Every structure is written in C-alpha cells, then in structure tokens.
Structure 1
Amino acid sequence: MMKQFRTFLIAAVALFGFQTMSAQTKVAHVDTNDIMTKMPAVLDAQNQLKKLSDTYTAEYKTMVDEYQAKIKKYDAEAATVTDAVNQTRQSEMQDMGRRIGEYQETAQKDLQKKEADLMKPITEKVKASIQKVGKAKGFNYVLNAGDLLLADGTDITADVKKDLGF
C-alpha cells in the first residue's frame, strides 16, 4: 500500500512538472516607484498636501509662540501674584499644552487621511493601467521591479506611462 502511494505520488509530481513546463508563463516587471514619482496627478497631490501641511505648521507655530510668551510672562510675574493666581495660570498652561498636543495629533491624522484620499484613485488608476498593458501584451504576471532583486525580463514601465498619458 505504501509502495503504491509512493509510486502514485512520483507519477503525479512528474505529470505536474511536465504540464508546468509545457505551459509557458510570461512575466514582466514594472517600476511603480518611477511611475508614481513622475506622474502629474501625484505631483499635484503632493502640492496640495504641502499647502495643507504648511497651513497646519503655521497654526501650530502660532499656538506654540503664544504658549511660550505666556509662560515667559507668568514666570516674570509669579513672584508678584498670589498662589491662587499662580495655580490658575499653571492650570491654564497645562490646558493650553494639552490643546497644542491635540491640535498636532489632529493635524497629523488629517494630513494622513487627505493623503489617502488623494492617492487612492491614483494608485487604482496605475494598477488598472498595469493590468491593461499586461493583458494587452500577453503577460500572465507583472511584478513590481522595486521589490525584485533581479529584474530580468520585459520592462513595461514605459508602456504603462504611455497608457497613463505621460
């Protein structure tokens, strides 16, 4: 019984190997990093993100400058005011510091969400173009050249760029 199973297994492996060799697989590669760094829509998205980031950075700097000015003022006046006033000011500064931290977190999350919203349709468009070009050229697989250690074969990056219009 074991000998028959072993014979069957060897025959199955041999048959599978012959079928795999007879069906030629066509593989191409594409450099998505090259496409994404030069694509006009990506450059526009990056400009939008930079403007938004600059807005958040300016607002954050204003908040921090105000915070530092109040600390300086309160430190200078600390000896001349009552303990109750100093405690109120300390509480106010802690609250202001917390709000600055929350603003920074919110701004960072907003930037990440905006980036995802801007990039999703672009990446979907690139993926669709890669699939379209790959099928049109008869490839079974298209690999990302950035993930390969050896990219020996057909490079369809230029064809995908052409399909995307740049």
Structure 2
Amino acid sequence: MKQIKTLLIAAVIFLSGNQAINAQSKTAHVDVSEIMSKMPAMLEAQKQLEKLSGTYDTEYKGMVEEYQNKLKKYEQEASTVTEAVNDTRSKEVQDMQKRIVDYRDNAQKELQQKESEIVKPIMEKVKVSIAKVGKAKGFQYVLNSEGLLLADGPNLTADVKKDLGF
C-alpha cells in the first residue's frame, strides 16, 4: 500500500512537472524591430520616405531663404519708403511666414500619412508570417522580445525572416 502511495505521488509530480514544461514550450518570442529594419520592403519604403522628405526639405528651405531675403531687403529700405509701402511689405512678410508654417505642418502630416500607408501593409505581412511560423511550430503565444525583460524561450526571428524570404 505504501508503494502504491509513493508511486502515485511520483506520478503526480512527474505529470505536473511535464505540464509546466509543455506550458513553457508553447510561448516563444520574436524581435519585430530586427525583422522590420532588415526587411527589403521596409528598406525600400525608407528610401521612398527619405526621398519625399528631401523634396519637402528643399522646398521648405527655399521658402525660408526667400523670406529671409525679402525681410532683409525690406528692413534696409524701410527708412526710404513710405509708411503705406512698409505696411504692405509687413503684411506680405506675415503672409509669407504663415505660408511657410502651413507648408511645414502640411508636409509633416503628408509624410506621416505616407509612412503609415507604406508601413502598414509591411507590418501586416510580418504579423501574418509570425502567426504562420508560430502555429507551424506549435506555439500558442509569440511575444515581441523588444519589451521582454527575460526572453529565454525559443526565438522565432530567424524563422520569420526565412518565411518572409530574407
């Protein structure tokens, strides 16, 4: 009777230990930042965004330079022209300031919108790949290792990269 009790206790300990191991093996992690930063589609998207940003920067700098030149000219001529001309010039400079600020704000909005349009489908593709690889390997949970304090379980980053073709 004592042997059966000992055997039963040993079996319970073995089974509960085996369950804990199975629960741990159903969780893996992946480094989404690494995947995104090295993904060819993302690298191409970054080039597009840098080109667009460069275009906006060039136009913005041109507008600012024109504004500064006019302001300098108007300040030099302020004492030699009539007050009506100075008032007109003052309004023109204020309008230019407003156009520059509006252009900068619109350019930032358009750049953010374009980034969202380009990155969203790439991110969706990565999510689908992570789910596919995770399920194929029998994991119930795949966590982003970026925020984990301890990532001691299986790392699926290489498998996801392979699935995505790079």
Q: Deviations over 1:114-145 (max 9, x none)?
A: 00000000000000000000000000100001
- 2:152 is paired with a residue whose SS is coil
Partner residue, 2:141 = 141
Total equivalences in the alignment: 147
TM-score (structure 1 length as normaliser): 0.86
TM-score (structure 2 length as normaliser): 0.86
Partner residue, 2:124 = 124
Q: Which consecutive unaligned segments of at least 5 residues does structure 1 have?
A: 1-17
Partner residue, 2:68 = 68
Partner residue, 2:90 = 90
Partner residue, 2:154 = 154
CA gap 1:55/1:22 in 2 versus in 1, 3 angstroms: closer
Q: State, as a whole percentage, how many aligned pairs show the same letter.
A: 64
**Separation of aligned partners in 1, 2:161 and 2:107:** 34
Partner residue, 2:102 = 102
Q: Which consecutive unaligned segments of at least 5 residues does structure 2 have?
A: 1-15
Partner residue, 2:41 = 41
- 2:79 is paired with a residue whose SS is helix
Indicate whether 1:29 and 2:29 are aligned.
yes
Which amino acid letter does the alignment assign opposite residue 131 of structure 2? Q
**Separation of aligned partners in 2, 1:111 and 1:46:** 11
Indicate whether 1:81 and 2:81 are aligned.
yes
Q: Deviations over 1:69-109 (max 9, x none)?
A: 00011011000000111011001100100000000000000
Partner residue, 1:164 = 164
